């Protein structure tokens, strides 16, 4: 989802989002929040670990249905951090961070055997979900390391909006019901935990409104835009049901609820159809999912916590989804080790409305689907690529054909939030300054103050401008 898809951010948007609007009205809305990547797997890694994904073996792209687990068992996650501080932790939803299937002698997945290196191994007491996106097989639910129902069919849809790849599908797996199923289970989990004395953490990563775009019958046609608009309205409705469940359970005052998306709106939503009707999914920003431009990674970020966060608050400080780790550590009074949350800043001062002199964080790194980097510091954004580095014009292929675009882009985000005027030729000193800082962040294995750490994996980086010949 993009910023323009929620009316609390852009009232002129054509998709009605009353529940998300209400969440923002009762909490804090961040206007300059970013995912750590413009696609889903890497962002989800950053959310759970407080570390940029490109420090792992995943230098670009996303994982697939049979990919190995990306999060090392010995790496601290938000879940294991809270678990060691007395929380019950649960994952319900779309994982897309890899887990280790068992295989038969032909190399095929053996769905009857346990799944290892799964969410339970990285901090979750309870885990229920599917392995990747809802358009990437296999389509089975796994609960605490065990497939809930063996595949009994192959399914594939050819519908333009509801398309998914052909693949093994569990007997209890119905694509159209996956999002409602996750919300039902999430709400039940909240109701159960509210009866106990133990604090809890629920990670509810949705497969929607990612493709396949599958609004259920009650929502089809409701947006009067296209199925994507309908799907966003459906998600908004279920968020409202979950928030209501928290209130009815009597735990609203001291329950922290965060709504954030894992990248901007996808071109698969057919944004041109919505733009023709006056709806702009990325708001005033350029690009969409996968892009290094703002539309790829500047996202809605709403926090509600009545005991701590003033209603109707708005923050224009730059934050990142990697910031959950340090923030949760601050909430429970834990101190992160040098090897934990290397790219995570504590946003509790912002949530509590404290005045911040200057920028809250030194700088933030953005990352596109093809592994290209950008760095944002204050009003300046340096992109270490020509074009979108993603799926919007000009794509990397189109850049090659054009042959005359500058190798880097520099934008003044205060004066030009739509990224229309490349100032790299006017401010070579700023280009060098930001490039040097980005290089430092990459080489030192962290972007927060502290002891240098090692990046993981082979050096198959998309970009090597930061390496010396010796490296």
Let me know whether 271 and 368 are in one domain: no
Is residue 450 one of the residues assigned to a domain? no
Is residue 358 one of the residues assigned to a domain? no
Supply the mean pLDDT for the chain: 95
Is residue 383 one of the residues assigned to a domain? yes
For residue 467, is pLDDT > 70? no
Distance of alpha carbon 77 from its chain centroid, rounded? Answer: 15
Let me know whether 142 and 268 are in one domain: yes
Let me know whether 198 and 338 are in one domain: yes
Reported as a single tens digit per residue, the pLDDT across 275-287 is 999 999 999 999 9
Let me know whether 312 and 431 are in one domain: no
Reported as a single tens digit per residue, the pLDDT across 225-247 is 999 999 999 999 999 999 999 99
Q: What is the pLDDT of residue 355?
A: 76
* Whole-structure pTM value: 0.95
Let me know whether 249 and 386 are in one domain: no
Q: Residue 429 belongs to a domain with what CATH number?
A: 3.30.1120.10
Q: Check if the beta carbon of residue 187 is closer than 8 Å to that of residue 242.
A: yes
Let me know whether 44 and 187 are in one domain: yes
Let me know whether 231 and 377 are in one domain: no
Let me know whether 424 and 347 are in one domain: no
Let me know whether 72 and 188 are in one domain: yes
How many C-beta atoms lie closer than 10 Å to residue 165's C-beta?
A: 16
Question: How many structural domains compose the chain?
Answer: 2
Q: Check if the beta carbon of residue 80 is closer than 8 Å to that of residue 329.
A: no
Is residue 12 one of the residues assigned to a domain? yes
Mean local confidence (pLDDT), 420-434: 97
Is residue 456 one of the residues assigned to a domain? no
Range(s) of the domain holding residue 403:
364-444
Which residue, 311, 330, 351, sits at the end of a domain? 351
| 3-state secondary structure labels for all residues of 201-233 | EEECCCCCCCCCCCCCHHHCCCCCCCHHHHHHH
Q: What is the pLDDT of residue 465?
A: 61
For residue 308, is pLDDT > 90? yes
CA neighbor of 47 nearest in space, from 315, 260, 295, 254: 260
Q: Residue 243 belongs to a domain with what CATH number?
A: 3.40.720.10
For residue 117, is pLDDT > 90? yes
Is residue 167 one of the residues assigned to a domain? yes
Give dist(CA 141, CA 123) in Å, integer.
19
Let me know whether 77 and 200 are in one domain: yes
Which residue, 351, 378, 396, sits at the end of a domain? 351
Let me know whether 292 and 345 are in one domain: yes
């Amino acid at each position: 989802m993009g910023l323009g898809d929620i009316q609390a951010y852009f009232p002129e948007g054509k998709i009605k989002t009353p529940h998300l609007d209400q969440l923002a009205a009762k909490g804090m809305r961040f206007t300059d929040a970013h995912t750590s990547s413009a696609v889903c797997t890497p962002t989800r890694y950053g959310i759970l670990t407080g570390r940029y994904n490109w420090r792992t073996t995943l230098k670009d792209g996303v994982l697939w249905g049979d990919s190995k687990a990306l999060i090392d068992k010995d790496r601290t996650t938000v879940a294991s951090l809270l678990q060691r501080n007395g929380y019950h932790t649960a994952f319900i939803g779309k994982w897309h961070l890899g887990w280790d299937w068992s295989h038969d002698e032909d190399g095929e997945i053996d769905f009857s055997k346990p799944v290892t290196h799964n969410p339970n191994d990285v901090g979750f007491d309870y885990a229920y979900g599917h392995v990747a996106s809802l358009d990437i097989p296999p389509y089975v639910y796994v609960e605490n390391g065990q497939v809930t129902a063996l595949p009994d069919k192959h399914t594939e849809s050819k519908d333009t909006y509801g398309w998914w790849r052909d693949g093994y599908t569990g007997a209890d797996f119905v694509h159209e019901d996956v999002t409602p199923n996750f919300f039902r289970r999430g709400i039940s989990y909240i109701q159960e935990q509210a009866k106990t004395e133990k604090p809890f953490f629920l990670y509810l990563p949705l497969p929607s409104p990612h493709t396949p775009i599958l609004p259920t019958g009650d929502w089809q046609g409701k947006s009067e835009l296209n199925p994507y608009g309908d799907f966003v309205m459906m998600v908004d409705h279920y968020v409202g049901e979950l928030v209501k469940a928290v209130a009815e359970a009597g735990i609203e005052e001291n329950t922290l609820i965060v709504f954030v998306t894992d990248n901007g709106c996808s071109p698969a939503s057919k944004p041109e159809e919505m733009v023709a009707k006056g709806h702009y999914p990325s708001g005033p920003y350029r690009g969409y999912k996968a892009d290094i431009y703002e539309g790829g990674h500047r996202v809605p970020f709403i926090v509600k916590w009545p005991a701590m966060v003033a209603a109707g608050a708005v923050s224009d400080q730059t934050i990142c989804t990697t910031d959950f780790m340090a923030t949760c550590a601050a909430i429970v009074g834990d101190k992160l080790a040098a090897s934990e949350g290397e790219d995570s800043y504590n946003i509790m001062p912002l949530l509590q409305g404290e005045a911040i002199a200057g920028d809250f964080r030194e700088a933030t790194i953005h990352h596109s689907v093809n592994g290209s980097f950008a760095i944002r510091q204050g009003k300046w954004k340096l992109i270490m690529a020509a074009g979108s580095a993603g799926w919007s014009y000009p794509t990397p292929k189109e850049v090659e054909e054009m042959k005359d675009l500058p190798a880097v882009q520099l934008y003044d985000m205060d004066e030009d939030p739509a990224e229309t005027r490349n100032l790299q030729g006017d401010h070579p000193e700023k280009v060098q300054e930001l490039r040097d800082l980005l290089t430092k962040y990459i080489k030192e294995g962290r972007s927060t103050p502290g002891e240098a750490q090692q990046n993981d994996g082979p050096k198959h980086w998309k970009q090597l401008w930061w390496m010396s010949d010796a490296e």
